[in-house]
């Protein structure tokens, strides 16, 4: 294992200190916790809070800031944060209009965030939650009942943050979030696994000439291994799966997110994005919102994911385009 770290057990703590050091004008760390909060206040508006295990940077803390998340709770690598830390984030982020929790669909995350929701009710804070389950690769995988929550979570953060800033109520945000999540789907491919610092070993092993479709962001199994293909062939596989899932029609409007999983350079991400664009252009799909970069990673996993978001309302595109002040967007 080759990593630029000190002690493996200190990586999350030191990472968060480094993040705050480099983005001190935007965020702060709640003392004694792994909670990152935005400095900008939005009194009388709903606070959007998310989080989960670390190792997916810049998710989640990189999206804390004006127009997106009010707070992020960062657990150990690939491990949910504890209910008391989540409850502390809820209490500190609340600006008097309640808190919306954005949870990725993993059993540990759901259990701990729901426990924190109960703790917050004891402090008379109104809390609701939405669960992101955008990964169409497999269902009932490791750590998950149903579909996994992956890179589409970033678009949910953006939508919920913009809508909260626009003044939507907690109930309105909850309803909007459920509609948005049902309109987002993601699928990915891995060329190699990420290595958890404390274990020092890759989460799984692929042969030098092998790739795996549908691997999860914690290294969970996908749906097929085969010899590595060209970018065009990978783009066809992933868009075919998304086409089957969405059953789209010509002139439908989508947002596209091409996401690197940690060790895939932007050169390859742009090549893949170009190949996807050729396929979607032939299908006469409109793409008014496009984003490429490493936003939901899996440590140093080599691979890529493709997210499409069906823009069923004009307002949804407007909210995607609202400027924000965060470290990573």
Q: Which residues are catalytic?
A: 56, 218
113: its two tokens: 């965030």
Comparing CA positions, the residue from 53, 107, 117 lying closest to residue 84 is 117
- Identify the bridge partners of residue 75 per DSSP, sorted by sequence position: 53
b/e map of 19-51 (b: 16 or more CB within 10 Å)?
bbeebeebbebbeebbbbbbeeebeebbbbbbb
21: its two tokens: 């050091």
Q: Please check whether residue 160 is in contact with residue 66, taking contact to mean a CB–CB distance below 8 angstroms.
A: no
Q: Are strands 302-310 and 184-192 parallel, antiparallel or unpaired?
A: antiparallel
Q: Please check whether residue 191 is in contact with residue 169, taking contact to mean a CB–CB distance below 8 angstroms.
A: no
91 CB contacts (<8 Å, ≥6 apart)?
Answer: 120, 123, 125
Report the distance separating Cα 280 and Cα 255, nearest Å: 12
Comparing CA positions, the residue from 34, 6, 47, 28 lying closest to residue 327 is 28
Report the distance separating Cα 117 and Cα 121, nearest Å: 6
- Identify the bridge partners of residue 35 per DSSP, sorted by sequence position: 73
Q: Please check whether residue 80 is in contact with residue 108, taking contact to mean a CB–CB distance below 8 angstroms.
A: yes
Rounded to the nearest 10 degrees, the angle between the axes of helix 152-165 and helix 170-181 is 150
């Amino acid at each position: 294992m080759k990593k630029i770290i000190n002690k493996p057990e200190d990586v999350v703590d030191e990472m968060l200190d480094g993040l705050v050091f480099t983005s001190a004008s935007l965020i702060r760390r709640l003392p004694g916790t792994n909670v990152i909060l935005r400095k900008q206040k939005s009194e009388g508006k709903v606070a959007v809070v998310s989080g989960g295990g670390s190792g997916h940077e810049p998710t989640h803390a990189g999206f804390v800031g004006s127009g997106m998340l009010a707070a992020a709770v960062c657990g150990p690598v690939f491990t949910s944060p504890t209910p008391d830390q989540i409850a502390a984030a809820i209490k500190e982020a609340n600006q008097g209009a309640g808190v919306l929790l954005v949870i990725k669909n993993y059993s540990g995350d759901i259990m701990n965030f729901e426990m924190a929701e109960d703790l917050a009710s004891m402090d008379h804070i109104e809390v609701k939650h939405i669960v992101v389950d955008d990964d169409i690769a497999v269902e009932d995988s490791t750590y998950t009942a149903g579909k996994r929550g992956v890179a589409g979570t970033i678009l949910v953060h953006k939508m919920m943050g913009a809508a909260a800033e626009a003044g939507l109520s907690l109930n309105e945000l909850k309803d909007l979030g459920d509609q948005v999540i049902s309109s987002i789907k993601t699928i990915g491919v891995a060329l190699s696994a990420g290595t958890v610092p404390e274990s020092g070993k890759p989460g799984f092993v692929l042969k030098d000439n092998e790739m795996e479709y549908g691997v999860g962001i914690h290294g969970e199994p996908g749906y097929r291994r085969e010899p590595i293909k060209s970018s065009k062939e990978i783009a066809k596989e992933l868009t075919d799966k998304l086409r089957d899932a969405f059953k789209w029609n010509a002139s439908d409007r989508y947002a596209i997110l091409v996401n690197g999983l940690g060790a895939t350079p932007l050169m390859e991400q742009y090549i893949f994005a170009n190949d996807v664009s050729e396929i979607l252009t032939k299908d006469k799909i409109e793409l008014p919102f496009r984003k490429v970069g490493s936003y939901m990673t899996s440590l140093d996993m080599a691979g890529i994911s493709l997210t499409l978001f069906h823009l069923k309302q004009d307002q949804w595109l407007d909210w995607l385009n609202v400027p924000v002040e965060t470290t990573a967007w």
